[in-house]
Amino acid sequence: MCNLFKKELLGDKDWIFILCGFVVGSNLLFLPLARSTAGISIFLPLSLTLLGFLLFVFVKSFIIWKEEWDQKKIFLLLSLPVPGYKIVLSKLFVLAFEIFLYLFIALLLPLLTYQLSSNVSYGIKLANFVKLWLIGSFWLFLILPFSTFAYLLGRVFSRFRGLITTAGLVGIIIIFFRYIHFGQKIFFFIPKFSIKWSEVGFFTVNTPQIAATFLFDLVLLWASSYFIEKAEL
C-alpha cells in the first residue's frame, strides 16, 4: 500500500503546489488588511481556506476516481494483488495528507504573524482563531470518505450512474447527521477531556462524537471497498 500511496502522491504534485499557493496567497492578501482595516479579521483567510477545502474534498474525490475509469487505470489497479480496501485507503491517505499540509500552512502563517506582531490586533483573539481551525479541520477529515463512497456506489450501476452518485452523497450526509446524536450515546462511556494550551486556554474534546464519527467512516470505508470490487468496468 505504501507504493500505491507514493504513486498517488507523485501524481498529485500539481494540485499540491496550486493549493499550497492558494493558502499562502489568501493569508498574504488578507493578513495585512486585517492588521490595518477595521472590520476585517484573520477569520477571513481561514474561512476562505476551510470553505475552499470543503469544496476541494468533494470535487477532488470525484475527480481521482473518475480519472481511474476514464484513463482505464482502474483495470490495472484491480489486477494488483491487493484487496479493495487498500486501493480505497491509498486514495484517502493522499487526500488526508494534502488536507493536513494545507491546514498546517493555514495555521502556521497566522501564528507566526501573531508572534512577530504581538502588539497588533488582528480583529480576533488567537484562542478563537485556533478553535475555529480545530473545528474546521475535524469536519474536513470527517467528510473524506463521503464522496468516495458515493462515486463507487454509482459505479456499481450501469444506468443512472450520475443520479445514484448524487443521491448517495446527499443520502449519506443526511444519514450521518441523523446518526451522530445516537452514535454519541453508544460511546457515552468514553470520557471527554480538556486540553490547556498556554496561548489558547482550555478547550474540551468531545471524544464520544469523535469515536462515533470514526465508526461511521469505517462503515463507509468497508462499503466503498465492497463497491469497488463490484463496480462496472
pLDDT one-digit tens code per residue, 122-135: 556 667 777 778 88
Per-residue model confidence (pLDDT) at position 100: 86
**SS3 of the chain: helix, strand, coil, percent, to 5:** 80, 5, 20
| pLDDT at residue 81 is higher than 90 | no
Contacts 24+ apart (CB under 8 A), 70-78: 74/231, 74/233, 75/233, 78/228, 78/229, 78/233
Average pLDDT over residues 192-207: 67
Q: Is the pLDDT of residue 41 over 70?
A: no
pLDDT tens by residue, 108-165 = 877 777 666 655 555 566 677 777 788 888 888 888 899 999 999 988 887 888 899 9
Cα dihedral 104, 108, 110, 111 sign: positive
Mean pLDDT calculated for residue range 185-210:
75
Q: Check pLDDT > 90 for residue 171.
A: yes
User: In a 3-state reduction of DSSP, which class is residue 171?
Assistant: helix
- The answer to whether residue 4 scores a pLDDT higher than 70 is no
Inter-residue contact 22 to 112 (CB < 8 Å)? no
Mean pLDDT of 75-93: 83
Output the pTM of the full model. Answer: 0.80
Residue 117 pLDDT: 63
pLDDT of residue 197: 61
pLDDT on residue 62 = 86
- State yes or no: pLDDT of 200 exceeds 60: no
Instruction: Say what the pLDDT of residue 124 is.
Output: 62
Q: What is the mean pLDDT of the chain?
A: 79
Per-residue confidence (pLDDT) for residue 233, from 0 to 100: 66
At 160, is the secondary structure helix, strand, or coil?
Answer: coil
